[in-house]
Structure 1
Amino acid sequence: MAKSNRLSSVVSKVNKLPEGLRPWALSKVMGKVIPFAGTSGTRVEKLTPQECVIVMRNKKKVQNHIGSVHAAAMGLLAESATGFMCGMSVPDDRIIVIRSMELEYLKRASGDMTAVASFSDEQLAYVKNTEKGDIQVPVKITDATGTETVKATMIWAWTPKKK
């Protein structure tokens, strides 16, 4: 049986709010959990144990020299989408860390960026029920036109917390 997870409990409560308030509330909660994500202005549109959708607006603070979202900011977007989802699933008696980030920049991005990460039922069960392990999590990043501009894979690892 899977152990509890405080983050999942908090997100579950936020997801009971009216639909229009959820992205704002999720973004505030996750910005407190991971301050760097909050600083960059990411907006958590959807967060469940099996899917995370995050938007990064193409604002000056995340732009590169050509006016599109900076490559490093897209890395943050991919890491946040996969990390928030994994963080909801790993029990509180374990610590989670990113082990690897692989990003392939496919096309020049235009406008706001959206990252979508997801788990299958089998992946979710593995994360919840494996004491020490790692998992490869793909994430698709699209721009304002709906074009996939970045293909990313993050590997997250977890181990029991030291007592």
Structure 2
Amino acid sequence: MSRDNRLARLVKKIEGYPSFLRKPLLNMALRKTVKLVGTAKVEVLQLTKEHSQFRLQNRKKVQNHIGTIHAAGMALIAETATGMVVGMNVPDDKVPVIKTLKVNFLKRAKGDLVAKAHLSDEQIQDILTLEKGEVEVAVSVTDEEGKEPIECQMVWAWTPKRH
């Protein structure tokens, strides 16, 4: 029996479609499921059990008063990247929840942002085997200049679903 959860099965199913349809289908599914991700038009670039990569374009609807991506948008892309990579691993009888979202703003962001999140093999094993637990997910957010305008600490927990 596959150890893939619902999200991993969806991603695997979408990977069977022609390449030009994969990203639009995955974006549509994620944006429909997580409404704020849809509102901000966060875009998936990569999503596996080990890594995720998401982009947020610097568009009017996500800008602050100085024309850069709003602080909440910066936090959203980091939370999305970490949450989705955790979500690829959490068994269907568990629910992932963000426990700590800490963002330090270091500099003004230039242009679009890309968030990359990563889980280690050990972290994935814990998610798959422990009844409940938590994991700090490594994430970096870079702007168009390749600089990191924010640094983040994202801790995700998982617990049994309440029936």
Identity between Structure 1 and Structure 2 (%): 44
Distance 2:2 2:138 in 1: 23
Distance 1:3 1:19 in 2: 25
- What secondary structure sits across from 1:49 in the alignment? coil
Instruction: Structure 1 unaligned segments of length 5 or more: list them.
Output: none
Find the counterpart in structure 2 of residue 130 from structure 1.
130
Can you list the C-alpha shifts for 1:83-120, whole angstroms capped at 9, x where unaligned? 11111110010111111101112221010000000111
Deviation at 1:127, TM superposition (A): 1.1
Q: CA contact under 8 A between 1:52 and 1:117: conserved in structure 2?
A: yes
Find the counterpart in structure 2 of residue 37 from structure 1.
37
Can you list the C-alpha shifts for 1:109-155, whole angstroms capped at 9, x where unaligned? 01000000011111111111111101111210000111111111211
User: TM-score, normalised to structure 1's length?
Assistant: 0.93
Find the counterpart in structure 2 of residue 48 from structure 1.
48
Deviation at 1:19, TM superposition (A): 3.6
Instruction: Structure 2 unaligned segments of length 5 or more: list them.
Output: none
Counterparts in 2 of 1:1-163, with a 5 A limit? 3-163=3-163
Distance 1:86 1:5 in 2: 11
One-letter amino acid matched to 2:117? A
Deviation at 1:4, TM superposition (A): 4.4
Distance 1:122 1:19 in 2: 31
Distance 2:14 2:101 in 1: 29
User: TM-score, normalised to structure 2's length?
Assistant: 0.93
* Equivalences, count: 163
- What secondary structure sits across from 1:89 in the alignment? coil
One-letter amino acid matched to 2:27? S
Distance 2:105 2:26 in 1: 28
Distance 2:29 2:93 in 1: 21
Distance 1:118 1:38 in 2: 22
Deviating above 4 A after TM superposition, structure 1's stretches of 4 or more consecutive aligned residues are: 1-4
